[in-house]
Structure 1
Amino acid sequence: MKHTYADLGSAFSSPVQPQPLDNPELVSSNREVIEQLSLDSYSQEELTQLCNGSKPLNESSPVAMVYAGHQFGSWVSRLGDGRALLLGELHGADGKLYDLHLKGAGLTPYSRSGDGRAVLRSTIREYLCSEALHHLGIPTTRSLCLINSTTPVYREKTETGAAMIRVAESHVRFGTFEYFSYSKQHEQLQILADYVIWRHFPQWQDDESRVEKLLAEAVTRTAEMIALWQAAGWCHGVMNTDNMSILGHTIDYGPFGFLDGFDAGHICNHSDWQGRYAFNRQPEIGYWNCAALTQALLPILPAGQEKAEVILKTYPKAFASRYSSLLRAKFGLVTAQENDNKLIDPLFTHMQEEKTDYTVFFRALSQGNAEDVFIDRERFHAWHQKYQERLASEGRSEDEVRKGMLAANPKYILRNHLLQIAIDKAESGDYNEVQRLLDIMKKPFDEQPENESYAALPPEWAGELEISCSS
């Protein structure tokens, strides 16, 4: 096992040994990721020990990473991994180097007033949703395995301690750069940038403008990732800069949620009383976060602030371009036409007014029976006639259009009520639903007739679920 991040030195992380949980038991393991990392030889018991921190992986030397961040827009000068440890890196089957990050491993120097633990509820949520987004084609961390225990953990109520190993190409965040920039550790800031470039963009290593290229890549990737969130109807919930990956991958799942009834201003985080991270503000916040990264990198940008601002201003175009393309695909359109907004915007207004289910509508539109999801069907018919005329203008066959739409509009998404059912069962000792959801979400675009109930509209009680930062 490699540990190139730990090799950067004590300024970047602190060595910490995991604090194993009591009586660990395996809740779920992810065969896809196990095979990707060539861990097939590990037994279920060995995976349990690995996830509990009681079985070192090839002489790994765990460290807690230090970083800072803007949390809900306010600067916090030192955060860091308060309950997670970077175990090291393994080569994947694709030749890339992947971090193994153990979440729920106990106290670290950055735990602040926390206990360093994760609970079963929140760990199931992250474990399943990172896989759900991956199979929707959204860049994200992934999940290797998940355990439960008998260790008590105190939140709003007493819960059981859990842990998971998440896998990512990098756990370096915008906030990692901010930490070294604002603490005036500019030498370390350069080392960090060069490390990210060496590991992920080696073709730039000898380029004098390599940091500018890194910034440009981060801006573009972030814009495109958030475009994918918007098209999927997914809310992150806590888009602090310490929760933004330098590679534009979705990271740190907490109070996330897919849209049920369409509401552009939906706030999925019960703790976000100002609505800073509402669904329709995510693109704007992504830009804000990229501006914070740009500011952090200024001390090592040779071309200075003027060039940095030019790079930052590429964000809106990158977002708009990707989002427009994704939205056209959802509607079965290939070409961009001048009046497309005049066609699409009234539909979203109708959906907003009726709280039409976002995912159910687009899947129904793909199958030609979308009128069933509206109350005011005459209004929808009037829109649909214009929509059919727009489709006809491209001259493609109905089968071709439908095939493309079914590939762009999932039937299955990881709704909060499905998660809650799995959590309730798991807290009672039944882990089968966790594995079942994992299997269903691996094929979100397939019909899966045996799992039809998982694609149904959410029950009334789903609207009463409150997901907060403790989730």
Structure 2
Amino acid sequence: MNPLAARTAAIPPLDLTGKGGFASLGPAFFTALQPTPLPQPHWIGVSTDVADLLALDAGWMASDEALQVFTGNARLPGSTPLASVYSGHQFGVWAGQLGDGRAILLGETPGGLEVQLKGSGRTPYSRMGDGRAVLRSSIREFLCSEAMHALGVPTSRALCVTGSPAPVRREEIESAAVVTRVAQSFVRFGHFEHFAARGQVNELRLLADYVIDRYYPACRSTEQPGGNAYAALLQAVSERTATLMAHWQAVGFCHGVMNTDNMSILGLTIDYGPFQFLDAFVPGHVCNHSDTQGRYAYNRQPNVAYWNLFCLAQALLPLIGDEEQAQAALVSYKTVFSDDFMARMRAKLGLTAQRAGDAELIDHILLLLAKNGVDYTIFWRRLSHAVAQNDFEPVRDLFADRAGWDQWLLSYSELLALTDKAVAAHLMLSSNPKFVLRNHLGEQAILAAKQGDFSELHTLQRLLQHPFDEHPGHDAWADFPPDWASSIEISCSS
């Protein structure tokens, strides 16, 4: 059942008559086409938060018309569906032309939000693919988009998931699904690489000017170093990306496919494929079964992002005009990442002020977590309660190396003593989630959904929308993963 069905509102249906968006760039940037319909569509999940963000009428959202629209079977007035072209580096290798192989942008709201269907059929950029998405990957993207938003991590959003009995071949035959994604923009590093690689400088400039004028107008300021708006754009994107990486590392999130075509020009988390939240803290953990070289391991993500930014810098070089200025625009990345990451880790520790011993304390606890294979999310949540209740034994129980923990706790207590305990506990409980989208939780929701039971998905969605709340009676969703969780394999196939 669509959870919006019981709500009432008097707002008009989805308005996609926004002007001056990506479609205004012209045919060199996309192919106009309609989604390919799917038979017998049905609702799987809806985010009321995103529906409210889009000012959607609840009655219309519960209608068959909405179901048909968000499955790609019907078109809204004002909609201008298109698939964009881009290129990129995949696993560190130039892959040439790529593009929206199964995503179709329906249009843009007057408020500047793009609405996109993923899994809506073949496009000219499908590269022998079927243009479809399957139930399991669509559920994972839907849940994780909204979970990341609730955690405060910059991300694309997900309005809904619809399903169809239409068969889709992957490793096995699976059923089709479509996820409706929402973001200010889906422009990627790869869009710039595409036109730079082809020597299409006019199109490259048009794209850069569009992004600057629409999303980074401060880059036009004459106060920017050298007065170079394109160098300023590169620096702004670099710093947003650094902040995003700090978010990911602090919350223990692994993206899994950090190709340049999956990197947002707005510093958003996009393209949820083989992602994972860490269970045991293993810095070198690789969540993507397809990543045989471990390029996108958790502890490599900040450096990979910097490498991707270097690719973006090369793409923008024809506009920047000076290699040294392009390199200079990337210099602030490491400082912004370090400062932001440290600030987030201090919040996780309840430390309200920056002090000399912070870095050593943080490094020490991360080493201890890795050495003891401690569950990342459970550790931080238990530590939060330990500070609130002044009882650290439940945290100590997580460590085989009790002496190492005791030594760290002594150092931590000295810094904690300089902070009001109530303030520290409140900060920690609002910084360290009780619930994250662990792989086994997603898998359980998917297995039930395959049997037509979406109750587990809806329960999990509700918990993830408020991850810092206790949710009495739902402790099982915040417990240690079962043994079988380690055998779950998530790959690029979806």
Does residue 434 in structure 1 map to residue 457 in structure 2?
Answer: yes
Q: Pick one of 313, 318, 326 that aligns with 2:344.
A: 326
Give the C-alpha shift of residue 379 in structure 1.
2.7
Compute the TM-score of the two structures, normalised by the length of structure 1: 0.96
Which segment is superposed worse, 183-192 or 427-436? 427-436
CA, structure 1 residues 253+458, in 2 after alignment: closer, same or farther (shift >3 Å)?
same
Q: Pick one of 180, 185, 191 that aligns with 2:195.
A: 180
Summarize the alignment of residues 251-266 of structure 1 with structure 2, pairs less than 5 Å apart: 251-266=270-285
Give the C-alpha shift of residue 314 in structure 1.
1.2
Does residue 389 in structure 1 map to residue 414 in structure 2?
Answer: yes
Q: Pick one of 381, 398, 410 that aligns with 1:363.
A: 381
Q: Is the 8 A contact 2:142 2:158 kept in 1?
A: yes
Give the C-alpha shift of residue 58 in structure 1.
2.5
Question: Which AA in structure 1 matches 2:435?
Answer: Y
CA, structure 1 residues 335+57, in 2 after alignment: closer, same or farther (shift >3 Å)?
same
Q: Pick one of 40, 43, 46 that aligns with 1:23.
A: 40
> Using the alignment, how far apart are the partners of 1:36 and 1:277 within structure 2?
33
Summarize the alignment of residues 283-322 of structure 1 with structure 2, pairs less than 5 Å apart: 283-302=302-321, 304-322=322-340
Q: Which residue of 2 aligns with 1:411?
A: 434
> Using the alignment, how far apart are the partners of 1:122 and 1:290 within structure 2?
27
Does residue 244 in structure 1 map to residue 263 in structure 2?
Answer: yes
Q: Which residue of 2 aligns with 1:146?
A: 161
Does residue 343 in structure 1 map to residue 361 in structure 2?
Answer: yes
Q: Which residue of 1 aligns with 2:8?
A: none
> Using the alignment, how far apart are the partners of 1:343 and 1:365 within structure 2?
14
Give the C-alpha shift of residue 5 in structure 1.
1.3
Summarize the alignment of residues 128-277 of structure 1 with structure 2, pairs less than 5 Å apart: 128-204=143-219, 209-277=228-296
Which segment is superposed worse, 343-352 or 221-230? 343-352
Does residue 10 in structure 1 map to residue 33 in structure 2?
Answer: no
CA RMSD of aligned residues (A): 1.4
SS of the residue 1:267 aligns to: coil
Does residue 114 in structure 1 map to residue 114 in structure 2?
Answer: no
Question: Which AA in structure 1 matches 2:120?
Answer: A
Give the C-alpha shift of residue 340 in structure 1.
2.6
Q: Is the 8 A contact 2:159 2:179 kept in 1?
A: yes
> Using the alignment, how far apart are the partners of 1:433 and 1:267 within structure 2?
27
SS of the residue 1:39 aligns to: coil
SS of the residue 1:180 aligns to: helix
Does residue 400 in structure 1 map to residue 423 in structure 2?
Answer: yes
Q: Pick one of 34, 43, 54 that aligns with 2:73.
A: 54
Q: Pick one of 371, 375, 397 that aligns with 1:372.
A: 397
SS of the residue 2:107 aligns to: strand
Give the C-alpha shift of residue 203 in structure 1.
4.8
Question: Which AA in structure 1 matches 2:329?
Answer: I
> Using the alignment, how far apart are the partners of 2:219 and 2:383 within structure 1?
45
Give me the identity figure in percent: 48
Question: Which AA in structure 1 matches 2:53?
Answer: Q
SS of the residue 1:458 aligns to: coil
Q: Is the 8 A contact 2:38 2:73 kept in 1?
A: no
Residues 419-458 of structure 1: per-residue CA shift (max 9 Å, x gap)? 0000000011111221221111010111111221111111
Q: Is the 8 A contact 1:194 1:205 kept in 2?
A: no
SS of the residue 2:44 aligns to: strand
> Using the alignment, how far apart are the partners of 1:36 and 1:346 within structure 2?
42
| Equivalenced residues, count | 464
Q: Structure 1: which 5+ residue stretches go unaligned?
A: none
Q: Is the 8 A contact 2:104 2:120 kept in 1?
A: yes
Q: Is the 8 A contact 2:190 2:260 kept in 1?
A: yes
Does residue 445 in structure 1 map to residue 461 in structure 2?
Answer: no
Compute the TM-score of the two structures, normalised by the length of structure 2: 0.92
> Using the alignment, how far apart are the partners of 2:52 and 2:363 within structure 1?
44
Q: Structure 2: which 5+ residue stretches go unaligned?
A: 1-16, 387-391
Does residue 84 in structure 1 map to residue 103 in structure 2?
Answer: yes
